[in-house]
Structure 1
């Protein structure tokens, strides 16, 4: 019997496999996210996406703007693409309605803008790495994986950590390398809708995790405006920090055409100097 997964695998490049893996794990990416992260040009990207779409590896939709017109295509994993990813990971095949449920989820959810913002953060890092040979996005995990027991257990950790259930709900976890600096980090993507006190209380969960692990790394608050960043930092100034924290503001980065990899971060408790993501390696601790 002809196996569609085997038939299509020979047509895939390493870049295709990366894209399928991202869509499987992170839900939805726009044409521009994909082009910036993985391709030398938008035209090249669009041609390849059309091919993957015709192969039924990816699906797409285009939301309508309230004031007329439409947004760029938003890409999702299709059923065959999900089966290819599962096979490559030696995992059980996804449910037969996996792709249909994913399409329904992302075309109807009110959290689409938030997810796109989170994913843009990571694809911006990948895009920076694509044009800077010394940099690399080494790992990108979604919120759901961060909450699984044992996700952050080190091979040398006691077995009890495999059963530890983190209380954190980060928007993502990444490992960034820039030259010799390697920075694991958690991302908290702020839309401005939560009270600042809620953002501060989230740090307690990270402290608990870091105590359990015997290691710590930066928690990044990617705030929607520099004004909100100033207000948060003012609130934090008189508080003991339960976890290493750095803040950045999206409007500040956009005004300077800066990537999240660049000098957009301020370490809490360390003045107003902005530093690069790679420089945040100073906030990591392995417990030794």
Structure 2
């Protein structure tokens, strides 16, 4: 009797041949790639540099019409060493493929921006090392939140779009001496009234005590007082029970601030989404205001009107990077500028040769 059959994975063919690490960064090889990469390929490389890791599902959500079309192109990019991949172990089922930036991809981005590879502070072992990081699930969850917003922006019936998405690394670079949010986002809504909302995201997995989340509000208040910009904080949680506990801690922390209006807070979670679709723009957000408690859930675009003290966005002083003393050219010294969250339109892509 066969009690230990050969695993299915062992029956697959050999791994695709790929250039060596030394070949992948040579000028000749990068020039060869220039004739093969589309604008969408380059956009994906920039997104992986900015956000470290994206799953197949997130990449399809943001830029491809189907899983099959995405897998075919991602395999080609993997063979060219523009991207690398790994598949985490899970106890039940199969984890999706996770993609990170590879050496050729980093070299392409550096050449396009007139930089040396060392200016990007990129190392291949550090890029793939996220596969073993204890923060992998948190990073993937945060990126999933924003990839859902990108997918919403691409829908033909949408009236809004995500115009900015900063990673935790970029936020730390700008504000790390005061506070370290998980991400920064900016959403523009065109109907019925043009509005814009920027926010810092705290993506909660229920792994830290609620009072620790509450203590972070003092840092956001200090940032608002230092920059002169009041930026809301959105807290995303896994369950309604977790939200209730965190809201109590946040309310106590807000009551202890000298000026609670400097830190507008709203909470939500996956349990409050209607239907199977992941859409953080839905009516799932509940502002935290002890003076005017309400159980009504608001759309993402409605939050801007829930906090009348917020200044209108659209002028140069609303850019948190400029308020922190950084300009675009200065930020390049620390890496690349943040990419557009939305992929290039099909008409903007180069034909594959």
What is the alpha-carbon distance in structure 1 between the residues aligned to residue 83 and residue 107 of structure 2? 11
The Cα offsets for residues 46-74 of structure 1, whole Å up to 9 and x where unpaired, read as 1111121122100111122224x531111
Q: Does 2:299 match 1:279?
A: no
- Aligned residue runs from structure 1 range 214-253, under 5 A: 214-237=228-251, 239-240=254-255, 241=260, 242-253=262-273
Shift of 1:19: 1.3
**TM-score normalised to the size of structure 2?**
0.71
Which structure 2 residue ranges, 5 or more long, are not aligned? Answer: 1-25, 319-353
Which shifted more, 255-264 or 211-220? 255-264
- 8 Å CA contact retained: 1:176, 1:182: yes
What is the alpha-carbon distance in structure 2 between the residues aligned to residue 9 and residue 253 of structure 1? 42
DSSP 3-state at the match of 2:282: coil
Give the aligned CA root-mean-square deviation in angstroms: 2.4
Aligned equivalent of 1:154 = none
What is the alpha-carbon distance in structure 1 between the residues aligned to residue 224 and residue 95 of structure 2? 40
What is the alpha-carbon distance in structure 1 between the residues aligned to residue 78 and residue 66 of structure 2? 18
- 8 Å CA contact retained: 2:58, 2:147: yes
1:185 aligned to which of 191, 199, 203: 199
Figure out how many residues of one structure are paired with residues of the other and give that number.
272
- 8 Å CA contact retained: 1:24, 1:85: no
- Structure number with the bigger relative contact order (C-alpha 8 A, sep ≥ 6) is 2
Shift of 1:117: 0.4
DSSP 3-state at the match of 2:31: helix
Higher Rg = 2
- 8 Å CA contact retained: 1:29, 1:119: yes
DSSP 3-state at the match of 1:45: helix
What is the alpha-carbon distance in structure 2 between the residues aligned to residue 107 and residue 235 of structure 1? 33
Distance 1:276 1:13, change over 3 A: farther
What is the alpha-carbon distance in structure 1 between the residues aligned to residue 164 and residue 115 of structure 2? 19
The Cα offsets for residues 111-157 of structure 1, whole Å up to 9 and x where unpaired, read as 111111011011111111111453222111111211224x7xxxxxx
What is the alpha-carbon distance in structure 2 between the residues aligned to residue 168 and residue 116 of structure 1? 21
- 8 Å CA contact retained: 2:213, 2:249: no
What is the alpha-carbon distance in structure 1 between the residues aligned to residue 233 and residue 121 of structure 2? 37
What is the alpha-carbon distance in structure 1 between the residues aligned to residue 32 and residue 303 of structure 2? 45
Aligned equivalent of 1:48 = 73
Aligned equivalent of 1:108 = 132
Distance 1:232 1:107, change over 3 A: closer
What is the alpha-carbon distance in structure 2 between the residues aligned to residue 96 and residue 256 of structure 1? 39
Which structure 1 residue ranges, 5 or more long, are not aligned? Answer: 152-164
- 8 Å CA contact retained: 2:213, 2:250: no
Aligned equivalent of 1:169 = 180
- 8 Å CA contact retained: 1:248, 1:265: yes
